[in-house]
A and B are shown apart, each in its own frame.
Chain A
Amino acid sequence: MVQQIDLSKPARLQVDPDQIQDDDKPPQTGHTFNVWYLQWAGGDPTARDQTKLKFRLDVEKDSGYTRAKDGRSLICLFYSRGCCYRGKDCLYLHRPPKPEDARIATQDCFGRDKTGDYRDDMSGVGSLSRVNKTLYVGGIIATDKIHEQVSKQFLEYGAIDKLKVLPAKKCAFVSFRLEAEAQFTKEAMDRQSLGENDVLTVKWANEDMNPEAQRLVQQEIEAQAIETVKRLLGSDDSLSRSTKRHKPSKNASQEQETVDESQIFDDIPREEVAHDHSEIEHIPIETSESRDGLIGKARLKLLKEAVTRYKEAQKTKATPFKSLATEYTSD
C-alpha cells in the first residue's frame, strides 16, 4: 500500500543544479558518441539499458508542495526519475498519482502524448489503443525473497493489484490499480535496481492472452461501464454537463504566468506554433442550445425507473453473508 505522503512540507531539491555538468556523457557503451542524441552509437544496443541511473526517487523524502496546483497540474517527470532540480519552485506536482486526479485519455500522467501504437520494444509513453495497467519488469536476479522484494519496492509508487514473478525467466509482471500509477512507476523504476548487481528494464506488458486473464479484464471494464452508465442516468447534471460552461477562474492573472513558465518544460516543440502555413482563425463555440441534452424529461424519468429496477435486482442478487458459506460449498 502506498504510504500517506506528507505534502505540507516543501518539495526538496533532488539534484543540486550546480552539480550538473554540461558534458555529462552516459557511460560508454558504444564506439562513438552521437552529440545530437547524447547516446553512444555502435556496440551492443541493449547495453544502454543495462547501466543503472544515477538518481532514484525517494517518495517519502522527495515529495512535497510545489508551485503546481493539486488537481489542475501534471506530475513532474523529473521528480519521478529522482532528478528535479527545481524543488518547491517546480511548476509540476511532486507526488505520486492519486485516483482522484483528472486525466486525459490521450496523455499520460506527465502530460506526454500517447501514440497510436506501442513502440516495437514496448518502451515509451504507451498506446492509446488500450488501457494498460501492467508493467513488464526485466533483469531480475532470482533469490528466495524475490517476490517480497519486488512487491516492497514497487508498492512505494502505487497500489499493486497483482504481482507475478517468473524467476526462471528473470522477469515479473506488475499490475496497478490505476493506469497513472503504472505510468509513474515505469519512469521511477526503469533502469533502477532491486538489490546490488541487477538493473531493471521496465516496459509496458503485452496483452495477456490467457483466457482467464482476458475474462478478468473484460469483467472489470463491464463493471466500470455499468457504473458509468448508472451515474449518467442517475443525474441530470452529468447529462447536460457538456452544455455547461465552467465558472471563470478567479485568479486569471496567476494562471497566465503559469502558462508562460510551463513552456520551459513543455514537450511540444515551440517552433511548430509559428508554422509557415498556419493561419489564425476564430472558431465560435456552439451555444448551449445547439448541444442540448439528448433526452427529454419524460424519457429521463423512464431511464431512472429502469435504473432503480436494476439496482433492486442487483440487491437481491447480492449474497448476504449468511449464505456465503453455503454458496462456497456449491463451488
Chain B
Amino acid sequence: MEEQPIICSSCLGENSHVRMKRHPNGEECRFCTRPFTALRWSGDTRVGKMKKTVICESCARARNCCQCCSVDIDYQIPLDLRDAALKLAGIANPYSVENTSKNREVKAIIGDKIEKRLKNEETETAEEKKEKMRDILTKLAQKLGSGAVANTSMPKERTSGGSTTKELSKTIAALPFGGSLALPKNNEDRSFFVFGFSADMPQYKLSEFFETHGKIESVRIVHKAKCGYVVFDSRSDADKCASAISSNGLNSNLATAGLILVNSQPVRVSWGNSQPLGRNNDEQAKIAQVVTKVMKQLAERDALQKGKRTKKLNGSHSTKRQKLESQERTDKETKEVKQSYKALSRDLEL
C-alpha cells in the first residue's frame, strides 16, 4: 500500500479531502538533496495558497516533521526549537538540525541510510510511537521540574592580550564615565552616553526605552564595547528624558550616571557627546573592561549612599548645613570617580 504523506493539518487545509498532484522526482529534498516524488495541492489556510512538499518522506519521518512546512508533526513547533528542547532534556537526537552535514554528497548518503533503516523499522506501531513520545515528554518535564534546564553555559571573560596604545587610553579617558544627569552648561547638548549593558541587549529595546521620552535622532550602540550614544532630536526632549531617569526611584545619588533598567538589565546613562568607541575588536574589548569596572564602582557607591541616607533619616534633623554637607560630599565623590577613571586608563596603558 502507498505510504501516507507526512503533512501537518494546517498545511492540508480545511477540506476533509484534498486533491493532490504527484510529480515523480519533482523536487529536491531540502535536507538530503535527493530528488523525491513531490506532491502539490491547494491549501487555503495560513499564508500561501499553493502548497507542495519540499522534504522527502524518509527525512520527514526521521525528523518527525511536516513535509511541507517542516514544523514538528505532533506539536506544530519549529524544528530548531524542538531539537533545542530535546537537547536540554538530554535526549539524543541523531537527526537534529545541528547535526546536519554541510556537505552535499554526505547529505545524500545519509539520506539513503535513513531510508534503509526506516524500511526495517516498519514494525514500530502507532502504539509504540506514542509510548516513545510519552517517555520523551516525561523526561523533559522531569528536567524542567528539577531546574536542571537553566542555562548552563556561562560566558568566560576573554582576557585579550596585546598592548594598549596611547591612543586607546586617550579614547577611554575621553569617555564621559564621570558624567551625570545634572543639566549640562552647553544648551546644545542633547546626547546621552549609555553604558553597562551586556552583549545580549537588543538595540531596539534600548531605543524603545528612550523613544518614550521623545524623538531620537540617532542611536549608536557598540555591543562589543558595552557602551554607546543616544542622541535626541531636540534639547527639550533630552531634558525630559534626563529628569525622568533621575526621578525613576533608582537614583538617590545624582552626582553620578543615572541607573535605568532595560530588559531587566542595569544600564547607566549620563549626558555626553559622541566620542569614538574604539576602531577594532581589541580596542572595544578593552573599553568593555573599563565599563565593567566602572559599573562595579558605581554600584558600590550607590550602596554606600543608600547606607548613609538611611542613617541620615534616622537622625531626622534636616538643616541647611547638612544639605550643604551632602552637596560637598557628592562633589567630592564625583571627583573621586573621575580620578579613578584616570587611574583606570593609566592601568590599561601599562
Contacts and interface: CB of A to CB of B under 8 A. Distances in A.
Interface residues of B, number: 103
B81 A102 contact: no
A218 interface: yes
Contact of A241 (B30, B50, B76, B149): B76
Contacts of A243: 9
A313 B145 CA distance: 8
B124 interface: no
Contacts of B279: 167-168
A211 B69 CA distance: 31
Nearest to B211: A1
A244 to B, nearest CB: 8
Contacts of A103: 47
Given A106-B54, A259-B49, A285-B17, A331 B85 contact: no
A283 B22 CA distance: 11
Nearest to A215: B153
Contacts of A31: none
Nearest to A312: B147
Contacts of B243: none
A313 B147 contact: yes
B30 A106 contact: yes
B21 interface: yes
A299 B50 contact: no
B84 A152 contact: no
Interface stretch (B135-143, B319-327, B335-343): B135-143
Q: Which of A107, A115, A225 has the most CB of B within 10 A?
A: A225
Contacts of A34: none
A310 B141 CA distance: 9
Contacts of B223: 162, 164
Given A105-B78, A220-B200, A1 B208 contact: yes
A309 to B, nearest CB: 5
B329 interface: no
Given A106-B70, A221-B81, A278-B23, 16 more contacts: A102-B47, A105-B70, A116-B107, A148-B219, A152-B218, A159-B204, A161-B203, A164-B224, A220-B200, A228-B77, A229-B85, A232-B77, A238-B75, A245-B14, A272-B23, A306-B144
Interface of B: 4-5, 8-10, 12, 14, 16-24, 26, 28-31, 33, 40, 42, 44-50, 52, 54-55, 68-71, 73-82, 84-85, 88, 97, 100, 102, 104, 107, 126, 130, 133-134, 137-138, 140-142, 144-145, 147, 149-151, 153, 155, 158, 199-200, 202-204, 207-208, 211, 216, 218-224, 231, 250, 261, 266, 279-280, 292, 295-296, 299-300, 302-303
